[in-house]
Amino acid sequence: MASSVEAWVDEVSQTTHPDKVVWCDGSDAENERLIGQMLSDDTLLELNQDVHPNSYLHRSNPHDVARTEHLTFICSTTREEAGPNNNWMPPAEAQERVWPLFKDAMRGRTMYVVPYLMGPAESPYSKVGIEVTDSAYVVANMRIMTRMGQVALDRLEHDGDDWVPGLHSLGDLSPDRRFILHFPDTRQIWSVGSGYGGNALLGKKCYALRIASVMGRDQGWMAEHLLILELQAPDGDVMYVAGAFPSACGKTNLAMLRSPFEDQGWRVRTVGEDICWINVGPDGRFWAINPESGYFGVAPGTSYHTNPNAMETVQSNTIFTNVAVTDDGRVWWEGMDGPVPSQLTDWLGNPWTPEDGTPAAHPNSRFTTPATQNPALSSHWEDTKGVPISAILFGGRRSTTVPLIYRSFDWAHGVYVGATMASETTAAATGAVGVLRRDPMAMLPFLGYNMADYWRHWLDMGSRASNPPAIFQVNWFQRGEDGKFIWPGFGQNMRVLRWVYEQVRGKNGNSRETPVGIVPTASAIGAEELGLSSQQADALLAIDRDAWLKEVEDQGAYLDQYGERLPAELRAQQRRLLDRLQKVPA
Ligand code: OXD
Ligand code: MN
pLDDT at 247: 84
Ion ligand 2 residue ranges (Cβ < 5 Å): 247, 274
Rounded to an integer, what distance in angstroms lies between the CA atom of residue 411 and that of residue 281? 17
Q: Which of 24, 75, 206, 249 is catalytic?
A: 249
Pocket probe for ligand 1: among 205, 439, 443, 447, the residue whose CB has the most ligand atoms within 8 Å is: 205
Pair 126, 158: CB distance under 8 Å = no
Percent of the chain with pLDDT over 90: 94
pLDDT digits (tens, 9 = 90+) for 2-23: 689 999 999 999 999 999 999 9
Residue 276 annotated to the active site: no
Q: Give the distance (Å) from ligand 1 centre to CA of residue 585.
A: 42
**What does the pLDDT read at residue 299?**
97
Residues with Cβ within 8 Å of residue 482, at least 6 apart in sequence? none
- Position 409 scores a pLDDT of 98
What confidence score (pLDDT) does residue 428 get?
Answer: 73
- Res. 385: pLDDT tops 80: yes
Distance 584 CA to ligand 2 centre (A): 38
Per-residue pLDDT at 318: 98
Q: Is the pLDDT of residue 1 over 70?
A: no
Is residue 420 lining ligand 1, measured as CB closer than 6 Å? no
Q: What angle do CA 194, 196, 200 make, to 5 degrees?
A: 70
**Alpha-carbon distance 217 to 239, whole Å?**
26
Contact 72, 180 (CB under 8 A): yes
* pLDDT for res 158: 85
pLDDT at 406 over 80: yes
> How do residues 341-376 score in pLDDT, each as one tens digit?
999 999 999 999 999 999 999 999 999 999 999 999
Q: Is 296 in the pocket of ligand 1 (CB under 6 A)?
A: yes
Model's pTM, two decimal places?
Answer: 0.97
251 CA closest ligand 1 atom index: 5
From 145, 274, 276, the mutation candidate for ligand 1 (largest count of ligand atoms within 8 A of CB) is 274
pLDDT at 3: 82
Task: Determine whether the shortest distance from the Cβ of 439 to ligand 1 is under 6 A.
Answer: no
Sequence-separated (6 or more) residues with CB below 8 Å from residue 282? none
Residue 225 CA, closest ligand 1 atom number: 4
247 within ligand 1 shell (Cβ under 6 A): yes
198 Cα to the center of ligand 1, angstroms? 7
Assess whether the C-beta atom of 274 lies below 6 angstroms from ligand 1: yes
